Amino acid sequence: MNGVSRPDPRQAAQSAALSRAMAGAVDLSALKASSEAAARPQAAPQAGGGGGDSRFVVDATEQSFQADVLERSLQVPVVVDLWAEWCGPCKQLSPVLERLAEAGNGAWILAKVDVDANPRIAQAFGVQSIPMVVAVAGGQPVDAFNGALPEPQIRQWIAALLDALRERMPAIGQAEAGATADDEPAEEPEDPRFTAAEDALERGDYPAAEAAYQQILAVEPANEQAGAALAQVRFLARAEAADPSAIARADAAPDDVDAQLAAADAEVAADGVEAAFQRLVTAVGRTSGPDRDRVREHLVGLFELFPADDPRVSTARRALARALF
């Protein structure tokens, strides 16, 4: 399931690994056994048992995983936030998730997991980069995403998660029905600049969306949300027109720079991220002058679609440096 109504290149690039996890590659049985053994001498924790900040936000550990995640997920979804103290994007994402969990009034629970302190949980979920967010229902992972997504996309993802599980989990509807206006935090006013850009994107008007994000960056050059959105808009515009046959044409004409750029876009759109990066690194080594600059800039633009700590980006950056110098 995916609550985001339009393509998100960052999520698309992570989909293969996450799909394997959702298909059952994630084995939580060892964590369950370990958690049960640790919990035997004491009563199972009640709401907030993981030491979290509230009834709806808990700090889950390897010892409390059974009670905080697996048992709770039999009633309502548990959204597991895998983070670490040194992770900058985690510090942006976690407060958003905490605020939304409080607003959800128990329709879902947020379980925060420090991966450094709980390596077995990170291993069980196959964590390769953080932040990583996994939804667990009925004791099994059912959906996930990587990276510090914008709050509107997180809201959509959670809404889609609840919609898909509401009939199977009556407690979701009961919690939603019990929520009152007093329980919900005041809505932050929407930034009209981002609203205009998102509206243009909804219409498929990529030039207008690009212009809107560029206007934000002209005033706030360090606005990371606008910068990431601009990179995604530019890619979406190209990806929508991408021709899968571009890959075969580029393979047949290795010196055709335009063909190599188009093929790389097609490969990223098809989740062939490493192949796209390698293609452009090779093209950088084969070209010079303005052509080399074009290829390098295109590759760097593709890097911006992914988290900075994505290992594929790190590997490709090192390869690019070797090709350039």
CATH number of 9-178: 3.40.30.10
Residue 207: is its pLDDT beyond 50? yes
Q: Among 28-32, 89-93, 193-197, which range has the highest average pLDDT?
A: 89-93
Rounded to whole angstroms, the Cα distance separating 66 from 49 reads 11
Strand order in the sheet with 109-114: 57-59, 109-114, 78-83, 132-137, 140-146
DSSP 193-241: HHHHHHHHHHTT-HHHHHHHHHHHHHH-TT-HHHHHHHHHHHHHHHHHT
Q: Which helix (H) or strand (E) holds 298?
A: helix 289-303
Query: What average pLDDT does this structure show over 264-274?
Result: 86
pLDDT digits (tens, 9 = 90+) for 44-62: 333 333 334 478 999 999 9
pLDDT of residue 45: 35
pLDDT band at 38 (very low <50, low <70, confident <90, very high): very low
- Average pLDDT value for the chain: 80
The whole-number pLDDT of residue 281 equals: 93
Radius of gyration of the chain (CA): 22
In the CATH scheme, what is the code of domain 192-324? Answer: 1.25.40
Spatial neighbors of 139 by CB under 8 A, at least 6 apart, are 28, 32, 70, 73, 74
Please state, in angstroms and rounded to a whole number, the distance separating the CA atoms of residues 237 and 235: 5
Please state the rounded mean pLDDT for residues 214-242. Answer: 85
Please tell me the distance from the alpha carbon of residue 248 to that of residue 163, in angstroms, as a whole number: 41
Contact 71, 140 (CB under 8 A): no
Q: In the predicted model, what is the mean pLDDT of residues 177-181? A: 61
pTM for the model stands at: 0.47
Give the whole-angstrom CA distance, residue 110 versus residue 133: 10
**In contact, 11 and 305? CB cutoff 8 Å:** no
Distance, in Å, from the CA atom of 176 to the CA atom of 183, rounded to the nearest integer, reads 11
Beta bridge partners of 146: 132
Tokens of 13: 């690039």
Residue 23 pLDDT greater than 70, yes or no: no
pLDDT of residue 32: 52
Q: Which residues are catalytic?
A: 87, 90
What single string gives the DSSP state of each residue in 100-158? HHHHHTTSSEEEEEETTT-HHHHHHTT--SSSEEEEEETTEEEEEEES---HHHHHHHH
Residue 29, pLDDT score: 53
Task: Delimit the CATH 3.40.30.10 region(s) of the chain.
Answer: 9-178
146 Cβ neighbours under 8 A, 6+ residues apart? 10, 11, 14, 18, 129, 130, 131, 132, 133, 307
What is the token pair recorded at 178?
A: 């019990």
Nearest CA among 82, 63, 58, 64 for reference residue 141 = 82
15 and 271 Cβ atoms separated by less than 8 Å: yes
